[in-house]
Amino acid sequence: MKNTWLVFRYALTLWTLSARGDVSMPAPSSPNRVVAESSAQGPELSPEIRQLLRQASEGGASAQVKAGDAYRLGKGVTPNLDEALKWYRSAAAQQEPAALHALGVLHANGDGLKQDVPQAVLLFHQASDLGWAASSEALAFLAMHGIWQEQDPIASHQWFLKAAEQGSSGAMFGLASQFEQGEGVAKDLKQAFSYYQAAAEKGHPKAQHKIGFFYYLGKGAAKDAVLAFTWLHLAAENLAEGAAEARDMVGKTLNQQEVMLAWEKLESIRQRIDAIGSLDRGGDTSLSPGS
């Protein structure tokens, strides 16, 4: 199990032990309170980290997750997995989904504690039920690859659906791939195109690359070299592997008027992506990553 699971460690790590982004602290709630500092915190803590630890000590679940992230990743403190686990467990006891997910990843990978995939699955289920898309996506990949039990493409598809409904662009990409390949669901290129487009509009580089190829080949949508060029250019900007070469290939087939139209469409699509990103941030539907 240990060797098999190592294949998926990188993907799981991307699904956030720091799902809420870099450590950021709101204004102090009580400047007169003293933080009970352990030796693990070190002597040179910034005011922001001290404020974060103060809020975590006062029982704030969100602050406890951020404190766990800080110790897990060494952000502003000396890395200390025991301290990270302490804060994650405290937040998890308050049913904070980000903490449940983080503990699930640590149990799955055997980082700092005994590897326990069944316990990881239980924690992912709990976080998923609380709306955490990264956990739903993790369960989809577990079912897809048969890491814990036998491969179950149908169950994987259902978990991807749930994660997509919770806002995961990675899950939308996974659904699109399933519809494209006919894995766990009947092959349907129109549905594949629809999910690739949804993920692309949320800024997913690989989905942007895919949607460009779909437009170029006329898969699941009418053939459109201009839109193909536009999406491949966006994918190249976001460093999707092979996208720049594909964009240049498609660009050679366009005339001057089509190139001008492509640049116009590019600006419109960028505005739509920015608008969708703003809505996502407002609704706190971020992953992990990730996705």
Per residue in 101-146, pLDDT tens?
999 999 999 888 889 999 999 999 999 999 999 999 999 999 999 8
Compute the distance between CA of residue 86 and CA of residue 72 in angstroms, rounded to an integer: 11
Cβ–Cβ < 8 Å for 133, 19: no
CA 128/CA 98 separation, integer angstroms: 10
Domains and CATH numbers, the chain: 1-29+44-123 (1.25.40.10), 201-282 (no CATH)
How big is the chain, counted in residues? 291
SS3 call for 161: helix
Mean pLDDT of 10-36: 35
Mean pLDDT of the chain: 84
Q: What is the C-alpha to C-alpha distance for residues 57 and 288, in angstroms, rounded to an integer? A: 25
pLDDT at 261 over 90: yes
Helix spans in 41-80 (H): 47-57, 61-73
What would the pLDDT profile of 194-218 be if each residue is shown by its tens digit? 999 999 999 999 999 999 999 999 9
pLDDT band with cut points at 50, 70 and 90 for residue 280? low
CA distance 130 to 237: 34
Residue matched to tokens 């000396």? 78
The arithmetic mean of pLDDT across residues 234-246, rounded, is 97
Positive or negative, the CA dihedral 18, 20, 22, 23 is: negative
Residue 277: the pLDDT is 82
Calpha distance 232→238 (Å, rounded):
10
CA distance 199 to 273: 10
The answer to whether 287 and 19 are in contact (CB under 8 A) is yes
Q: What is the CA radius of gyration of the chain?
A: 22
Structure tokens at 125: 């289920």
* CA distances in angstroms from 249 to 38, 61, 102, 176, 210, listed in the order given: 58, 50, 42, 24, 15
CB atoms within 10 A of CB 2: 9
Confidence of residue 39 (pLDDT cuts 50, 70, 90): very low
Residue 32 has pLDDT above 60, yes or no: no
